[in-house]
A and B are shown apart, each in its own frame.
Chain A
Amino acid sequence: MGERMEIRLSGSGGQGLILAGIILAEAAILDGKNAVQSQSYGPEARGGASRAEVIISESSIDYPKVTKPDILLALTEEALMKYKDNLKPDGVIIIDSSIKKPELPVKIISLPIIETAQNRTGKVIVANIVALGALTTATKIVSKESTEKAVMDRVPKGTEELNKKALYSGFELGESL
Chain B
Amino acid sequence: MSSKARLMQGNEACVEGAIAAGMRFYAGYPITPSTEIAELSAEMLPKVGGKFIQMEDEIASMGAVIGASLTGLKAMTATSGPGFSLKQENIGFASLTEVPCVIVNVQRGGPSTGLPTLPAQGDVMQARWGTHGDHPIIVLSPSYVKEVYELTIRAFNLSEKYRVPCILLMDEVVAHMREKVELPDPSTIKIINRKKPDPSIVNYEPYRDYDGDGIPPMASFGEGIPFHVTGLIHDVTGFPSTNAKVTEALITRLMKKIYDNLDDIVDYECISVEDAETVIISFGSTARSVLRAVHLMRQEGHKIGMIRLKTIWPFAYKAIQNLSSAVKNLIVAEMNFGQLVETVRASAGGRFEVSGLNKFNGELITPDEVIAKVKEVMGRA
What is A's interface to B at a CB cutoff of 8 Å? 22, 25-26, 29-32, 34-39, 41-42, 61-65, 67
Contact = CB atoms under 8 A, between A and B. Distances in A.
A64 B180 contact: no
Contact of A36 (B178, B292, B366): B178
A35 B179 contact: yes
Contacts of A41: 32-33, 117-118, 172, 176
Select the residue from B33, B116, B177, B289 with max chain A CB neighbours within 10 A. B177
Q: Is the interface of A mostly helix, strand, loop or mixed?
A: mixed
A62 B366 CA distance: 11
A64 B1 contact: no
B206 to A, nearest CB: 45
Contact of A64 (B32, B33, B117, B177): B177
B117 A65 contact: no
B289 A30 contact: no
Nearest to A32: B1
B21 interface: no
A29 B177 contact: no
A13 to B, nearest CB: 13
14 contacts: A22-B7, A25-B180, A36-B179, A36-B180, A37-B178, A38-B173, A38-B176, A38-B177, A41-B118, A42-B118, A62-B289, A64-B173, A64-B179, A67-B366
A-B CB proximity, top 6 nearest: A42-B117, A41-B117, A63-B292, A37-B178, A62-B292, A62-B291
A121 B177 CA distance: 32
A64 B7 contact: no
Interface in B160-209: 172-173, 176-180
Contacts of B291: 62-63
Nearest to B172: A41
B90 interface: no
A39 B117 contact: no
Given A38-B173, A63-B292, A30 B1 contact: yes
B7 A63 contact: no
Nearest to B367: A63
A23 to B, nearest CB: 9
Nearest to A21: B178
A22 B117 CA distance: 19
Contacts of A37: 7, 177-179
Nearest to A37: B178
B125 interface: no
A29 B180 contact: yes
A65 B292 contact: no
A34 B177 CA distance: 13
Contacts of B116: 42
B32 A63 contact: no
Interface of B: 1, 5-7, 32-33, 116-118, 172-173, 176-180, 285, 288-289, 291-292, 295, 364, 366-368
Contacts of B176: 38-39, 41
A53 B333 CA distance: 24
Interface centre among B5, B179, B366 (most CB of A within 10 A): B179
Nearest to B366: A67
Given A41-B117, A64-B288, A36 B177 contact: yes
Nearest to B178: A37
B295 A29 contact: no
A38 B367 CA distance: 17
Given A29-B5, A29-B180, A67-B367, 10 more contacts: A22-B7, A31-B1, A32-B1, A37-B7, A38-B177, A41-B32, A41-B118, A41-B176, A63-B367, A64-B288
Contact of A63 (B1, B5, B289): B289
Contacts of B117: 41-42
Contacts of A65: 173, 364, 366
A62 B33 contact: no
B110 to A, nearest CB: 15
B45 to A, nearest CB: 24
Nearest to A18: B178
Contacts of B368: 67
Contact of B366 (A25, A26, A42, A63): A63
Contacts of B178: 22, 25, 36-38
Nearest to A154: B7
Contacts of A38: 173, 176-178
B336 to A, nearest CB: 19
Contacts of B173: 38, 64-65
Contacts of B364: 65
Nearest to B116: A42
B287 to A, nearest CB: 9
A119 B368 CA distance: 45
Contacts of A29: 1, 5-7, 180
- Among A34, A61, A64, max chain B CB count under 10 A is at A64
